[in-house]
Copies of this chain bind each other. A is one copy, B any other.
Amino acid sequence: MEKNNPLYKEQGIHVISSLFTVEHGVVKVLLIKRKNEPYKDFWALVGGALYNNEDLETGIEREIEEKTGLTNLNLKLINVHGKVDRSPVMRMVAISYLGVIDINRVNFQESTLKTSAAEWFDIKDVKNLQLAYDHAEIIESAFHELKHQILKSNILTSLFPSGFTLPEIHQVYEAILEHPLDRRNFRRKLLSLNLVEDTGKYFNFAGKKPAKLYKFKENIEDTDIF
């Protein structure tokens, strides 16, 4: 391995996260506005260059914490984007992670060295934005994978740190999958999986029957859900 062979000199690694949330039945993705070149003033996913002294997971967690204040996320490696010209500066390969977070937990770090703003965008509006790098493609791939993940893993646990009602989580599934699910079958299925437990509490919406509050059990493993 010759370090200075021009065939593979000056390469780098991006770690990039597509962070999703669901609010009032709308799937949203977190974007930040870049302060520096390249792609100054473009909206971009949360991420950046991997450091030499950190593992991939550490790197993406650091990037997310720097820009959102969030820690302890349940991230999943989902894809790699490595087209020759995806970065205008030098050859960069992007390792793409997926995460789902409760919108209320996010505490944006408004003024960092590299970003000037952070905002949630409706996934349907993202296609109208000019994003930095190949981030549009990365989001598309991540959203596609999100649909799989909610059927095959417990990725949604972090969406509801303080519990959820069945109508709420049902709406989340429909929003992400973009098609309706039968209420009663959904309910029976989810409860039969032994992933959630009744908290005994109820949650009141205005003028309607209160709904039971459930929460995910601790330490549940990834399993096929649907």
Contact = CB atoms under 8 A, between A and B. Distances in A.
Interface of A: 1, 3, 5-13, 37-38, 49-56, 77, 79-80, 82-84, 87, 89-91, 93, 95
19 contacts: A1-B38, A1-B90, A3-B89, A3-B90, A6-B52, A7-B51, A7-B52, A7-B53, A8-B12, A8-B13, A11-B11, A13-B82, A50-B82, A52-B91, A54-B84, A55-B82, A56-B93, A77-B80, A82-B95
A52 B93 CA distance: 10
A77 B221 CA distance: 24
A12 B77 CA distance: 19
Number of copies of this protein chain within its complex: 2
A11 B50 contact: yes
A215 to B, nearest CB: 30
Contacts of A38: 1
Nearest to A91: B52
B93 A13 contact: yes
Contact of A52 (B53, B55, B77, B84): B84
A5 B52 CA distance: 10
Nearest to A38: B1
Given A89-B1, A90-B3, A95-B93, A8 B84 contact: no
Contacts of A52: 6-11, 84, 91
Given A82-B95, A95-B82, A51 B13 contact: no
A55 B77 contact: no
A13 B10 contact: no
